[in-house]
Structure 1
Amino acid sequence: MKAIPAATIHRMDRPHPCDVCFQSRFCLPIALPPDELDRMRDIMQSTMRITKGERLFETGQPMDKVFSVHAGSFKSVVSSPDGRQQIVGFHVPGEMMGLEGFSTRVYMTDVVALEDSEACEIDVRVLEGTARELPTLQHQIHCLIGNRLARAQQDQFVLGSMQADERLARFLLDLSERYKARGLSPDEFVLRMSREEIGSYLGLKLETVSRLMSRFHQAGLVHVAQRQVRITNRDGLSELLVANER
C-alpha cells in the first residue's frame, strides 16, 4: 500500500486570513459578542498550504491543533489493524477538522488533502485557555463536537440501513446542502473525490457507484460530466429516500 506523504507546510505571509476569508463566518462562532469574536479571531494562528495527497495529520499523533478548511477539500481516513482503509468523512471550506481528538488528546483519523488546499490552524491549548475565559465560546465548541458526533451516528445509520441508491442520493443531497450553506452553488459542483473514494465512504464498490451515477444521469436526476455534477431533479433524488421508507 502506497504511503501517503505527510504535509509539507508552507506558511504564507499575508493579511490575517480571517480578514480576507468569506468562510470565516462558518468556522468562527458567530454567536459570540463582538469583543469575544475578536478574541477568537486572534487565536487563528496561520494558514498552511497542503498539496494534493499530503497528510495534514495522522491517527495517533498527539492533538495539539485543530484546523479549519480555508480552501480546497480533505478526507478523513481510518485504518484497520490489517491495513484496510475506509473514508469516514469529507471536509469542505469552513468546516473544522480534528475535533474528535479532544477526549483522547490524539487524532482519531488521518486527514488527507483531496486537492491542493489550505487550512487555518488553531493551537488547542490557546483555544482551551480562551474558552475557559469565554463561556459562550466553550458552549460553541461543545456544540461543534456534538454536531460532529451526531453526524458520525447518521453516517453509521446510512451504512447500516440504506440501499445503495439511497446512500448515493443522500450523499449528493448532503454535499449540495453543505455547499449551499456556504454561499456556493447547491446545484452544480465538482466532486473532488473519486468514485472509488465515494464508494469507500458509502460502503459501496467502485462499480456500484459508477453504475448508479449512470442510472441517475439517465433518469434525469443529475447531469454528470466526469467529476462535474449538476443536480437537475432535486425532488427526484429526495423521492428516492422517501420511497424506500414506505
Structure 2
Amino acid sequence: MSASQSRKFAGYLMLLALVISGCSLNGSMNHATSQAKLESYLSQQSQTAEDNIIASFDLYQYLLDRGAVDIWRIQDSNPKDADVAVRFKNDIVAIFYFSNEVGKGSKYGKLMGISVFAAEPDYRPESWDPSATIMKSSSRSEWSRWFNTTSPDDFVNDTRYKEKNEVDHFYSVSPNKIFYTINSAGKTVLVSVPQYFGAGFEATVGRYLQLSEPSFIVDPLDGTNIGGETN
C-alpha cells in the first residue's frame, strides 16, 4: 500500500470512528433528554426511599402532554392487576399493565409491560370479559407489540443502559381514580413506574406517536430496531 493510500485509509478509519462515536453520543443524549422531560412531572422527591420510591410522578398529566385524548381503566379478571388504556391523537392505543403480584411484600403495584396497537376511535373496552361490557362495533389493528418494562435494557432498547444509568428506583404514580391496584388485603394501593420510564417511553410508545396514519394490517415499525415482541 502506498503512502497516499495509507493516508486515505487512515482518514477513512478516523471518519468511521467519529460516526460510530456520534451515534453512541446521540443515543445517550436522547435518553438523557427523555429523562429530563420526565423530571418536570416529579414532586415530593426524596433520597430516603421506602420500597425504592424516590418521587411522586404525575403520569396522567405526562400522558396528556404527550397527546393522549382518552385514559381509562380496563377491568381485569385479577383484582391485583390493573390495565390502563391510553388513546393518542393518531389512533395509537397503549395498554399499561400494572401488577401487585410481583414482589408480594411491596406496597405498590408495578408497571410490568405496555402493549401498543392501533384502533378506531370507538374502540374503548372497559373489560377483557366480552360478557361484561357491551362494546360498540369497532375494530383494532391485527398487530400489537408488547414491551417488557421490568428490564431497563429491553425497555429502553439499549443493551448498556443499566450499566450506564441508575435503574433501581421507582416513582409512585400520583393517586387518582385510574392508576391503582388492589393488594392481598383487599385495600387500594398506588402503582409505580421505574425511574427509567421516560427513556423507555420515548424508545417504545413515543416512536409510534410519530406516525401520522399507523397501519391496521401490519406493524408499521416491524423490521426496525424498536425491540419488544410483535403479535
Structure ranking higher on relative contact order (CA contacts 8 Å, 6+ apart): 2
Q: Name the larger-Rg structure.
A: 2
TM bracket, shorter-chain basis: under 0.3
Give TM-score scaled by structure 2 length: 0.24
More helix by share: 1
